[in-house]
Structure 1
Amino acid sequence: MDRKAAFILLLNELNITLSEKQLDQFIKYYEMLIEKNEVMNLTAITEYDEVLQKHFIDSLSLIKVYDTNKVVKVLDLGTGAGFPGIPLKIAFPSLEIVLLDSLNKRVNFLNDVIRKLELQNITAIHGRAEEYGKDKNYREQFDLCVSRAVAKLSTLTEYCIPYVKVQGYFISFKAGNIQTELEESKKAIDILGGCIDKIDKFKLPDSDMERTLIKIKKIKTTPNSYPRSAGKPSKEPIM
């Protein structure tokens, strides 16, 4: 089976149809990812089939809990190699996306991807979540914040909710058993102005890999004291 056919089979499981151009963009993205991964650590997952499933399809699974056909402004916080932001942009071009990462080398790679795939209305910026979260140009400016970053939900909540407009959403991508994390994050979610709207547990198509999408609605403005200074949300999460 060729690369496109393998991808189309998985996309069918999510009821997503892509054009030839979009499929080509995904394949080009994969090739750039693997090439750059030889000189800097972007991903431990490099086999094509695994990247399709664990990065591309996992990123696109957002459609299970959010209408991606809306023209909305999205922040992908701690984007790393561009997940979920770049797959979402390729598949749903109407989304306006900002990719934020703390490592400049990764941001340079993302800007290269954006340029070579000729993606519009998507930018990659370098910095810490705590700093941009205080910047009036970013604070409470997004309809949606997404994150696949590896951090506890109580910490991610403090990083992400300040960026979201009231009535907007923060969606966290999680793997494994997240019940303890959910319990420990309740206070942080409430203090930061959110409430849990939906929790969707599922298995990635054609696999036994369990995923959970935690959808948090922002119902009130985040207090000005959050996010706290650099390092505090991870070292001293709100509990």
Structure 2
Amino acid sequence: MDPHQESVLRAGAQALQVALDDGAIDRLLRYADLLIKWNQTYNLTAIRSPDDIITHHVLDSLAVAAPLRKLTSAIHNPRLLDVGSGAGLPGVMLAIACPKFRVTCIDAVQKKTNFLQHVIGALALANLSARHERIEEVTDPFDVIAARAFASLAQFTAQSRGALAANGIWCAMKGKYPNDEIAALGTSVQVFHVEQLNVPGLNAERCLICMRPAGTLATFPASH
């Protein structure tokens, strides 16, 4: 365990108001190590520096943990689907930081789901599963469908609608506020909350766009 990376991770999690015990810290650091090792052969991410993996991947993904906890506070064990998960971002981080979540990561690329299956076993993540599947093929219902750098908001919501539970929501991680993408959603999807994210050590704009089908009941907290 690298003391510097552990220090950066602990400080970053505290700044993000994500409470992590020693076991969670250990799992997150071991995840980073596994990603670095597998990346040498399978090219899972363009980011290769261990320090950058902590800030650009681990902390960037953890930035949505607190908002998602608030949004799902009325649900006992929220079912969360991470679409186009890649190396498990943000799904692995959410499974570790939010143990009550039941997280499923899907990706259409076999090598990425192979990596995720290895992570699940190595880190003993009982609340995480990984599937080699396209989003259009998923029909079991999820309370939250999340994505990070997956597609436009219109594509994301249209392609994943069949996997959305009754009164479920979509949450898309974006950089700058996506005015054009929101305008392109039309009337069938409602943006009900936008969370501005500040990722420690990352000098870049980030936001979480929360959406639901127009006309659904307001099970989740509204924007305020």
Amino acid at match of 1:114: I
Q: Say whether 1:212 aligns with 2:213.
A: no
Q: Secondary structure at the residue paired with 2:137?
A: helix
**Contact in 1 for aligned 2:5/2:54 (Cα 8 Å):** no
Unaligned runs of 5+ in 2: 217-224
The number of residue pairs the alignment matches comes to 210
Structure 2 contact 174–207 (Cα < 8 Å) conserved = yes
Q: Residue 201 of structure 1 is aligned with which of 196, 199, 204?
A: 196
Structure 1 residues 30 and 63, CA, compared in 2 at 3 Å: closer, same or farther? closer
CA distance in 2, matches of 1:203, 1:20: 23
In 1, Cα distance between equivalents of 2:201 and 2:86: 25
> Are positions 1:166 and 2:163 aligned together?
no
Deviation of residue 3 (structure 1)? Answer: 2.0
Report if the CA contact (8 A) 1:161-1:170 is conserved: no
User: What do residues 108-147 of structure 1 show as CA deviations (whole Å, max 9, x unaligned)?
Assistant: 1100000000110211111111122xx3xx1xx1111100
Distance 1:220 1:124 in 2: 32
Cα 1:63–1:123 change in 2 (3 A) is closer
Q: TM-score, normalised by structure 1?
A: 0.81
1:82 alignment counterpart: 88
The alignment partner of 1:181 has SS state of helix
Conserved? CA contact 1:146–1:170, under 8 Å: yes
5 Å matches for 1:4-23? 4-23=6-25
Q: Does 1:180 align with 2:188?
A: no
What SS class does the counterpart of residue 209 from structure 1 fall into? coil
Shift of 1:26: 0.8
- Counterparts of 1:1-239 in structure 2, within 5 Å, are 2-67=4-69, 70-132=76-138, 135=139, 138=140, 141-187=141-187, 190=188, 194-218=189-213
CA-CA distance at 1:203 after TM superposition = 3.1
Q: CA RMSD in A?
A: 1.8
Which piece of structure 1 moves more, 202-211 or 82-91?
Answer: 202-211
Counterpart secondary structure, 1:99: strand
Partner Cα distance (1:177, 1:95) in 2: 27
Q: So what's the TM-score if we normalise by structure 2? A: 0.87
Measure, in 1, the Cα distance between the counterparts of 2:105 and 2:202: 28
**Gap regions ≥5 residues in structure 1:** 222-239
Q: Offset at 1:149?
A: 3.3
Q: Which moved more, 1:57-66 or 1:79-88?
A: 57-66
CA distance in 2: counterparts of 1:64 and 1:122, whole angstroms? 18
